[in-house]
A and B are shown apart, each in its own frame.
Chain A
Amino acid sequence: MGTRKKRRAVVDAGACVACGCCAKVCPVSAIEVWRGIRAVVNGEMCVGCGRCERECPASVIELQEVQP
């Protein structure tokens, strides 16, 4: 059985509008809006479920595989 690589959400900080839609749907509260400027992901907590990526109205979040 192949092992799935761990993935985590990455925000394009320059394009983020800081609406907070991502934080609302994160099941583990791993993403928050920092100082009303941009969303910031806590890499340790992120489980890579992709809910924030689907929700983001600006589509500036993508899941990236984490290097071991």
Chain B
Amino acid sequence: MKKRWYDYLWIVELTYLALGFFNILFAWLGLLFFFIPLIISAVRGTKGYCNHYCGRGQVFGLLGGRFGLSRKKDIPKWMRSKWFRYGFLIFFFIMFFQMLWNTYLVFAGVQDLRQAVTLLWTFKLPWHWAYHGTLLHPGVAQFAFGFYSVMLTSTVLGLVTMVLFKPRSWCVYCPMGTMTQLICKARSGKG
């Protein structure tokens, strides 16, 4: 099958993760991975992002497929149920807003900047080498640490389910995928 330009977006995903390792402020770029899918689904009423442009899905597809790092077993039924998918979306939202709250506290001067990346909402990884101080408010960096934590956590979860089940198992419970599908359903119901 002929390769298109968007078949190489896995490079963007890997570059993003690498940049955040060296300078956490690059984590802000990850907002593109949030807004582009939402805009496509809201404006065009499609899951064009999932279907073509998701670099993360491509990374899982390559590692699990070409590199053979997946057992290629069926995902358990409960993981593809609406309960789990919507439940995970809500859980993700709560954690996201908690991250925003922590950012606000740093902006408000109530809390000091914590130079750590939180993996799986629990484990605090030291990440101080990726922040050297800037003219910007520490809150800007706090958001970057928080957002990078979200991205790294979802990558790790995706890698685990890639190994256990099919390569792109993450797509089944990806909060962005669930959200964009809901937007498409809502749009379709209207029109």
Residues of chain A at the chain B interface (Cβ within 8 Å): 15, 17-21, 23-24, 27, 33, 35-37, 54-60
Contact = CB atoms under 8 A, between A and B. Distances in A.
Interface in B126-179: 165-172, 177-178
Nearest to B7: A24
Contacts of B46: 33, 35-36
A37 B52 CA distance: 15
Contacts, number: 78
Contacts of A23: 51
Give the bracket for the number of chain B residues in contact with chain A.
Answer: 20 to 34
B78 to A, nearest CB: 12
Nearest to A56: B166
B180 interface: yes
B45 A58 contact: no
A19 B47 contact: yes
A16 to B, nearest CB: 9
B51 A33 contact: yes
A35 B184 CA distance: 7
A contact patch SS: loop
Nearest to B44: A36
B166 A55 contact: yes
B23 interface: no
Contacts of B72: 54
B41 interface: yes
A17 B177 contact: yes
A21 B168 contact: yes
A20 B80 contact: no
Interface string B33-50: 000000001000111101
Given A19-B50, A36-B45, A57-B168, 18 more contacts: A17-B85, A17-B177, A18-B50, A18-B184, A20-B51, A27-B1, A33-B51, A35-B45, A35-B46, A35-B188, A36-B41, A36-B47, A37-B185, A55-B168, A56-B166, A57-B166, A57-B171, A57-B172
A17 B172 CA distance: 6
Contact of A59 (B51, B75, B181): B75
Contacts of A56: 166
A15 B178 CA distance: 12
Sort A-B residue pairs by CB-CB distance and give the 8 closest, nearest first.
Answer: A36-B184, A20-B51, A36-B47, A19-B171, A59-B74, A57-B168, A36-B46, A58-B80
